[in-house]
Structure 1
Amino acid sequence: MKRKFYKMHALGNDYLYFDCFTAPLENPAALAAHLSDRRKSVGGDGIVLLEKSDVAHAKMRIFNADGSEAETCGNGLRCAAKFLRDVRGVKDTPLKIETLAGVKTLTPALNGRGETESVCAEMGRAEFAAEKIPVLLSPDARGEVVARQVRLRGITFEITCVSYGNPHCVTFSPQAAENFGLLGEAAENAPFFPRRANAEFVTIVGAADFFVRVFERGSGETFACGSGACAVAAAAVKNGYTRENEDIRIRMRGGNLTVKITRENTYLTGEAVLSFVGETEI
């Protein structure tokens, strides 16, 4: 049986979107692993299912390239908002999308043709409590793992652990960033992360300006990661590298995202692009 898909991306972080409002998709984990293969299939960082929701405009389920299901995805959410508005014709503003990490609010910005060009996603507050991430390293007096020294693959560096509904391991260590190829997978699969983790290796460019390479849980290195950008911004504020209530530029291989951290929320703004529409045998 053939099924239509929509290839979408945000800064090169690309997924195949399936409209599952009326017809469910069987065995999405296996399908994600198959379709994400860039040599033998369409290729992507995973697949996204958009389904009916009782509490939002849609429910988003996201499956990584290895078939594992993720709790949320900032880039995936922004593209989902574009899909709802531009493909399904949902004109409500803002849009609400249900995820495994809760209901997220998204506000599209339109171009001169009335199409969604960028989206601001409200990602909620960063969670630093060790048991909520979860991370098994001994926490500090506040119950957090911040600027904690670890050793992986013979390299010692500091990490800060944070969650936006999915676990992140952020390091501002220049030595770690220089050894991304060696440490990316090691950080994702470190024994102190029982559910694995997304790993962000940060180079400080300026007071509110950071370059990041991301090794995503279940997908490997990606061109960008929305929740990872939020995690970097939150960790930067926590470690005193920048401040709340200002626009923070997060540079990634695929381009730039803007993050603003407030006391109550995290705002992630960036592009959302529909690349093409196709059909695949399932």
Structure 2
Amino acid sequence: MQLELIKCHGSGNDFLLIDEFNHDIHFTEEERALLAKHLCNRQTTLGADGILFFQKSDKADARMRVFNADGSEASMCGNGLRCVARYAFDVFKKPLMSIETMKAVLEVEKDKEIFEGIPTFRVEISPVSFHVKDLPLQIEDETLMNKELLELSDSLKFTALAVPNPHLVSIVSKEVLQTNVQEEIATVVNGPNKLFPDGVNVSFVYPIEKGHIFVRTFERGVGFTNACGTAMSASSLVTCLQGFNEVEKEINVYNPGGMVKCVVRQEDNKYKIDLIGNGTYVFKAKIEVNLDDPGNFSLLSKEEFAEENEQYQKLQEHVERYLSEKM
């Protein structure tokens, strides 16, 4: 069969977007997993962190399903949601929309440019839970809030939360950020282990200055990634809880792929996060693929979005200059 797709990215976290909303396409769950494993392979002409399936919804304007490069399905993806918001805006021409995800219907909207010439979208990240059963994390306490997990480290403190993807966040120094500690911990909790039976995203956060943080994430099912939208949102919330930043105020979040802005919203004892950043198209392509053997697909056509990519490169250069001065 022939498939049309768009390669897109949020903060360098890249995806292949397949439109099932406007095309008569039907996949089995096994075919979705196989497509993700083979089309996202970096050794091919496509390559990505995952596939975004854009679908019809009975509850919202559209539905997003996300499959990681290892074939697993993610319950949520903040960077992917911004890309879907961009695509939905192109389809519906509406500045404010709702997108159904695995755990919730979330609001998305077109926003002012985060940097000149960058298509920018604000998406809602929720629900937020600190109950360890929602990750799950198998410890005796009901929550883990800025405490040690001696099985992982005797010097770092962690906060566990689901947004709704599971996240383990630690605020660290520049010196710790430059070591292999994060990779060692992430490898443990994403392999056979007693703490996180389903694995967990691991983020190290360095507070640069008030309103500015750097986040690096080892993403479950992916590994180290340029950026993880839910991780940047979770990390922003953790910095507010620990007094580094404030709720209802913009936080500039820098990452290896660029930057986003986050605003933590609090109502009573409940939180949600606005994630604001780019939804950039890299190229659109048409492929010929056999769903029984997707690894042997053929690239039929490819069209680059050169101007968008040039503008995003300028944003990356801006971020690199800032980080070189501050870190």
Both proteins in one fold, TM over 0.5: yes
User: 81, 84, 105: which one pairs with 1:80?
Assistant: 84
The alpha carbon displacement at 1:11 in A equals 1.3
SS in 1 for 2:46: coil
Query: 1:146, 1:239 within 8 Å by CA — same for their partners in 2?
Result: no
SS in 2 for 1:16: strand
SS in 1 for 2:111: strand
The 1:188–1:250 alpha-carbon spacing in structure 2 relative to 1, beyond 3 Å, is farther
Can you list the C-alpha shifts for 1:258-278, whole angstroms capped at 9, x where unaligned?
A: 111111331110011011111
State yes or no: 1:61 paired with 2:68. Answer: no
Can you list the C-alpha shifts for 1:128-147, whole angstroms capped at 9, x where unaligned?
A: 111222211232xxx31111
The alpha carbon displacement at 1:116 in A equals 7.9
- Aligned pairs for 1:62-211 (under 5 A) are 62-86=66-90, 88=91, 90-109=92-111, 117-139=119-141, 143-151=142-150, 156-174=155-173, 176-177=176-177, 178=179, 179-189=181-191, 190-211=193-214
Distance 1:109 1:24 in 2: 33
User: 199, 211, 214: which one pairs with 2:217?
Assistant: 214
Query: 2:96, 2:107 within 8 Å by CA — same for their partners in 1?
Result: yes
Q: Give the count of matched residue pairs.
A: 274
The 1:154–1:103 alpha-carbon spacing in structure 2 relative to 1, beyond 3 Å, is closer
User: 254, 257, 261: which one pairs with 2:257?
Assistant: 254
Distance 1:110 1:149 in 2: 40
Can you list the C-alpha shifts for 1:157-187, whole angstroms capped at 9, x where unaligned?
A: 2110011111001011336533233333224
Where structure 1 has 5 or more consecutive residues not aligned to the other structure, the ranges are none
Give, as a single letter, the amino acid of the residue that structure 2 aligns with 1:259: C
The alpha carbon displacement at 1:153 in A equals 6.5
SS in 2 for 1:205: strand
SS in 2 for 1:135: coil
The answer to which of 116-125 and 71-80 deviates more is 116-125
- Aligned pairs for 1:206-245 (under 5 A) are 206-245=209-248
What is the aligned partner in structure 1 of residue 12 from structure 2?
Answer: 12
> Whose radius of gyration is greater, 1 or 2?
2
| TM-score scaled by length of structure 1 | 0.90
Give, as a single letter, the amino acid of the residue that structure 1 aligns with 2:51: I
Give, as a single letter, the amino acid of the residue that structure 2 aligns with 1:269: I
Give, as a single letter, the amino acid of the residue that structure 2 aligns with 1:181: E
- Aligned pairs for 1:39-58 (under 5 A) are 39-58=43-62
SS in 2 for 1:145: coil
Distance 1:172 1:229 in 2: 12
Distance 1:209 1:19 in 2: 36
Can you list the C-alpha shifts for 1:97-155, whole angstroms capped at 9, x where unaligned?
A: 100121110011377xxx9810001113521111222211232xxx3111121245676
Distance 1:31 1:272 in 2: 22
SS in 2 for 1:250: strand
Where structure 2 has 5 or more consecutive residues not aligned to the other structure, the ranges are 291-327
What is the aligned partner in structure 1 of residue 274 from structure 2?
Answer: 267
Distance 1:221 1:155 in 2: 23
CA RMSD of the aligned region, Å? 2.0
Query: 1:168, 1:231 within 8 Å by CA — same for their partners in 2?
Result: yes
The alpha carbon displacement at 1:41 in A equals 4.6
The 1:275–1:200 alpha-carbon spacing in structure 2 relative to 1, beyond 3 Å, is same
The 1:276–1:195 alpha-carbon spacing in structure 2 relative to 1, beyond 3 Å, is same
SS in 1 for 2:99: strand
SS in 1 for 2:157: strand
Distance 1:98 1:28 in 2: 18
Higher share in helix? 2
Distance 1:221 1:191 in 2: 22
Query: 1:168, 1:228 within 8 Å by CA — same for their partners in 2?
Result: yes
